[in-house]
């Protein structure tokens, strides 16, 4: 169905529901361990005939930019045959892509070829929202892979948290109408697709869903929401990589936030003064280990990608990070890490005070002995 051009009183109006062609990519993000030795993981994959071959790729460069906007280090990607999953009129196609990052994050991405009209995506958007079938399939797929790669993973475990995100990428959007007019005419429908809703949304919710938009030229646009994005561009592979990484980063921050909650609950009973007991060296070492682990993971996640050289990708990532509330999660992690540091500092002060008290008592005892000893010596003779 082609969009209709209606001429009224000499003015042209673009109707809703334009034709589309492209892909819908749903990515599921997990935490698989404290860290991944990507070189060793790639060697294990390359040496095994039963495992898929690894890929080590950087972000593709489509615009003029220095060479230093890269992943550091480049993640390991594997492509495997895609299972046949049907969601309404749409079926999976191509390959399933699994990506491993050095800080222990991983993602599994499924692609659905899409064509027809924009309204045809609404049932697919509803079906993709937290799809239990795909979550279970991606979990099992990643579990099998990480079991094979266990020697390359530090403290391997498959966390219970899952982040999912859907990106609708259009090679074709409409039939030659100005992009701005098409976007303005289809705001309610696009908002429903982004939110995975079957009911019409309020004007306030439509404005909120479509509030984050970024474009590089007059013929492309990306609309970013917290659970899905619409990208209108003939070649958006770099943007899809950024979407995937930003959601893995979100998953890692959520996992780290939970780990710090557990650490605080664990060390609180050991806090000086509770139960009248002094904190032990073993407990101090455990607190220090929590501090180190959290700091290393936080820095690893936040330094995994370098986008300083590409201003458009940097802006795209910044807007997506704001939409996913990265800064709020970072602030929560830093606040809890600071609390853990305060506990360690107070515990260290308590240990130092107790050592000083013991030293003072030893000095007092020695002083008393030095006074009494001269009187006891003649009696001993």
CA 113, chain centre distance (Å): 25
| Predicted pLDDT of residue 246 | 92
Q: Is the pLDDT of residue 56 over 60?
A: yes
Q: Is the pLDDT of residue 324 over 90?
A: yes
Task: Provide mean pLDDT across the span 346-368.
Answer: 79
Mean pLDDT (the chain) is 83
The residue to which tokens 């530090």 are assigned: 154
| Predicted pLDDT of residue 380 | 59
| Predicted pLDDT of residue 63 | 46
| Predicted pLDDT of residue 27 | 96
pTM above 0.85, yes or no: no
Q: Is the pLDDT of residue 379 over 90?
A: no
Tell which residue, 257, 276, 281, has the closest CA to residue 331: 257
Q: Is the pLDDT of residue 61 over 70?
A: no
CA 38, chain centre distance (Å): 18
| Predicted pLDDT of residue 187 | 95
**More reliable by pLDDT, 264 or 153:** 153
Query: What's the half-sphere exposure (Cβ side, CA atoms, 13 Å) at 145?
Result: 30
> What is the percent of the chain where pLDDT is above 70?
83
Which tens digits make up the pLDDT trace of 107-145? Answer: 999 999 999 999 999 999 999 988 899 999 999 999 999
Question: In sequence order, what E strands does the chain have?
Answer: 5-8, 11-14, 19-31, 35-36, 54-56, 76-81, 86-87, 90-91, 95-100, 105-117, 153-154, 163-173, 213-214, 221-224, 228-232
Which tens digits make up the pLDDT trace of 34-52? Answer: 889 999 999 999 888 777 7
Which tens digits make up the pLDDT trace of 161-188? Answer: 999 999 999 999 988 889 999 999 999 9
Q: 113: phi > 0 → left, psi -120 to 50 → alpha, else beta; which?
A: beta
Question: In sequence order, what E strands does 118-162 have?
Answer: 153-154
> What is the percent of the chain where pLDDT is above 90?
43
Task: Provide mean pLDDT across the span 80-94.
Answer: 87
Residue 319 has phi, psi (to 5 degrees) of: -65, -40
Number of residues that this document lists for the chain:
381
């Amino acid at each position: 169905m082609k969009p209709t051009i209606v001429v009224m009183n000499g003015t042209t109006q673009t109707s809703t529901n334009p034709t589309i062609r492209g892909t819908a990519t749903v990515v599921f993000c997990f935490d698989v361990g404290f860290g991944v030795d990507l070189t060793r993981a790639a060697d294990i994959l390359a040496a095994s005939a039963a495992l898929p071959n690894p890929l080590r790729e950087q972000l593709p460069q489509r615009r003029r930019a220095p060479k230093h906007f890269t992943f550091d280090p480049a993640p390991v990607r594997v492509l495997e045959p895609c299972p046949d999953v049907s969601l309404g009129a749409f079926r999976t196609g191509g390959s399933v892509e699994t990506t491993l990052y050095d800080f222990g994050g991983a993602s599994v991405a499924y692609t659905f070829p899409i064509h027809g009209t924009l309204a045809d995506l609404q049932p697919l958007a509803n079906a993709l929202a937290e799809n239990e079938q795909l979550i279970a399939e991606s979990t099992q797929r990643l579990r099998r892979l990480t079991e094979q790669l266990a020697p390359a993973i530090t403290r391997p475990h498959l966390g219970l948290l899952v982040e999912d995100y859907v990106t609708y990428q259009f090679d074709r959007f409409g039939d030659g109408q100005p992009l701005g007019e098409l976007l303005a005419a289809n705001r309610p429908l696009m908002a429903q697709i982004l939110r995975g809703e079957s009911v019409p949304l309020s004007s306030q919710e439509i404005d909120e869903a479509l509030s984050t938009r970024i474009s590089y030229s007059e013929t492309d646009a990306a609309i970013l929401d917290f659970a899905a994005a619409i990208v209108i561009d003939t070649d958006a592979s770099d943007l899809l990589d950024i979407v995937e990484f930003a959601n893995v980063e979100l998953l890692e921050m959520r996992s780290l936030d939970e780990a710090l909650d557990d650490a605080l609950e664990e060390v609180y009973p050991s806090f000086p003064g509770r139960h009248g007991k002094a904190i032990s060296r073993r407990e101090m070492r455990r607190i220090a280990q929590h501090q180190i682990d959290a700091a290393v993971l936080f820095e690893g996640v936040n330094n995994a990608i370098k986008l300083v050289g590409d201003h458009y990708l940097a802006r795209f990532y910044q807007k997506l990070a704001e939409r996913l509330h990265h800064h709020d999660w970072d602030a929560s992690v830093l606040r809890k890490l600071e609390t853990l540091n305060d506990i360690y500092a107070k515990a260290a002060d308590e240990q130092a005070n107790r050592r000083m008290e013991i030293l003072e008592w030893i000095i007092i005892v020695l002083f008393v002995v030095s006074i009494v000893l001269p009187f006891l010596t003649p009696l001993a003779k």
